Amino acid sequence: MSVRSSLLAAAVTFASLGAAHANGLRPIEGLSINLGDVSGVAYCTVEPDGFRVVTTLAQGAAGTPIRFVTVLAPGQRVVVSTPYQAPALEISRKGR
């Protein structure tokens, strides 16, 4: 299963090992993430150096939020996972 999201002509892909549908993602638009006990949101912006992806996750409503920020150039990817058997989240940039 995978959740895939594209950003205009150049695509940023959010793949959750285990989801079964696809969603379109536009700059600044949020994408919900569920990694079992950990959930949150991700969004991206187009920057001069690449696509800036901001992911914020927390365990439940009372958990301390953790923010992960990365700038992806074409062909780059990053994987966010938890130590549990929940699916990992892969964020990749395809295209220009």
Going across the sheet that includes 77-80, the strands are: 11-16, 89-94, 77-80
* Predicted confidence (pLDDT) per residue in 26-44, tens digit: 678 888 888 878 888 888 8
CB atoms within 10 A of CB 53: 22
User: Which residue type does 94 have?
Assistant: K
- Every domain of the chain and the residues it spans: 11-94
Rounded to whole angstroms, the Cα distance separating 60 from 23 reads 24
Quick check: 16 pLDDT over 60?
Answer: no
Q: What is the pTM of this model?
A: 0.70
Q: How far apart are the first and last CA of the chain?
A: 26
